[in-house]
Amino acid sequence: KRFLLRYYPPGIVLEYELRDKSRETKEIDLLHLSPETDVEVLVNQVTFEEPLISEQRKPQLRRLIYRLIAKLESNENNDFYLFKILRAHILPLTNCAFNKEGDQFITGSYDRTCKIWRTETGEELLTLEGHRNVVYAIAFNNPWGNKIVTGSFDKTCKLWDADSGDLLHTYRGHATEIVCLSFNPHGSVVATGSMDNTARLWDVESGECLHTLLGHTAEIVSLNFDTYGNTIITGSFDHTVKIWDIKTGRCVHTLSGHNGEISSTQFNYQSDLCISGSIDRTCKVWDVTSGQCVHTLRGHNDEILDVAYNSTGSRLVTASADGTSRVFNTMTGACQSILIGHEGEISKVAFNPQGARILTASSDKTARLWDVETGDCLQILEGHTDEIFSCAFNYGGDTVITGSKDNTCRIWKC
């Protein structure tokens, strides 16, 4: 019936009609697409391998692939400039997060609220009030962005309507603080991780607890759903990562091998690998199916505080208390570049959607943008008066948000 584009990671979604007139979609991943790709060869290969695409569709397919390549090259040479400073909360910020469009973002705070902001103007749209302690973990149900979930030190998690600010559910059950959370990709389940050593899966519609994930022997500080929403990983202070089946709530694998607390975890896009960063100064790459460690990435001389994949999963980056970040090739485990320049620990790191730049946030009061290939520092985002602990790109990669202990958020645009 029609082609739909997926920019990050690059792919084409085919919408087709079955005999009973119902519509299905099929995704064709183009994870290796780059400006150097021979488009004619790719068009022929996709047409050959995909029976749904006829010869007549080739010109359309060719146009779409060129559009995907143009997106990969966007924002490549532009510097970011300070767009707005938001005096966000009376007490320190905990986290900030964009919706998919990037036209709104949310901030959590020690003042027990979550605020919704319009990116374009910097105006405060709504304040979500109701928690009785620090609002620590926050998220939109992207790609829709019409619901927000907040996790608090008051042991509860709340689900809100992002447009009206109405409270939809309060999820109760954890015995101590909630420190991490996530929506599943379909927006139907919320996962929460707590200092009580458990994670819980909650039904978004009904508000009921679907599963309690039992097995860790220390607090859970990181959790992530895979791309398909079938599995979830939890990283814990008990030095392990666990892989869980969403449907049954059962632990499929316990990933053991780190000699210190886990700080950060993530799946790659294809969800066949996941990574864990630890205070033992290493990052490990794991095979999700077998539970085996594929690579142990060394080189940092202090704790690893954050890890991240690029959108296609071909590279990963680590951020450390030693003030450096390292870029690794996922397949070979080779260190590709070292990002040197910060004068304090790096607590957060992210690739831009195009995968050409890395953003780091540091206790030295700056955020920096780096060239992934060369490791060169491209730009220093200066102005915060205290450490920066949160940073994020929007989906298009043309807006950056930084959150600092100086109680402000800064919006940067390019």
Q: Extract long-range pairs of 24-29: CB within 8 Å, 24+ residues apart.
A: 26/52, 29/269, 29/270
| Average pLDDT of the residues in 242-248 | 98
| Average pLDDT of the residues in 368-385 | 97
Whole-prediction pTM value?
Answer: 0.94
| Average pLDDT of the residues in 2-31 | 92
Statement: residue 278 has pLDDT above 90: yes
Q: How confident is the model at residue 185, as a pLDDT? A: 96
Higher pLDDT, 88 or 95: 95
Q: How confident is the model at residue 139, as a pLDDT? A: 98
Q: How confident is the model at residue 291, as a pLDDT? A: 98
| Average pLDDT of the residues in 131-154 | 97
The percentage of residues in the chain with a pLDDT greater than 70, rounded to a whole number, is 100
Statement: residue 90 has pLDDT above 90: no
Statement: residue 310 has pLDDT above 80: yes
Distances (CA, A) of 390 to 55, 93, 106, 414: 48, 9, 12, 19
| Average pLDDT of the residues in 400-411 | 94
Q: How confident is the model at residue 216, as a pLDDT? A: 98
Q: How confident is the model at residue 280 (pLDDT cuts 50, 70, 90)?
A: very high
**Radius of gyration over every alpha carbon of the chain, rounded to an integer in angstroms:** 21
Distances (CA, A) of 151 to 95, 148, 171, 172: 11, 10, 9, 11
| Average pLDDT of the residues in 309-336 | 97
In whole angstroms, what is the distance from residue 233 CA to residue 256 CA? Answer: 13
Q: How confident is the model at residue 1, as a pLDDT? A: 78
Q: Taking all residues of the chain, what is their mean pLDDT, rounded to a whole number?
A: 96
Neighbour-count burial of 295, counting CB atoms closer than 10 A to its CB (0-12 exposed, 13-18 middle, 19+ buried):
buried
Q: What is the pLDDT of residues 98-115, one digit of tens each?
A: 999 999 999 999 999 999
Joined tokens for residue 219: 């607090």
Q: How confident is the model at residue 76 (pLDDT cuts 50, 70, 90)?
A: confident
Q: How do beta strands 357-362 and 346-351 pair? A: antiparallel
In whole angstroms, what is the distance from residue 187 CA to residue 169 CA? Answer: 14
Statement: residue 75 has pLDDT above 80: no
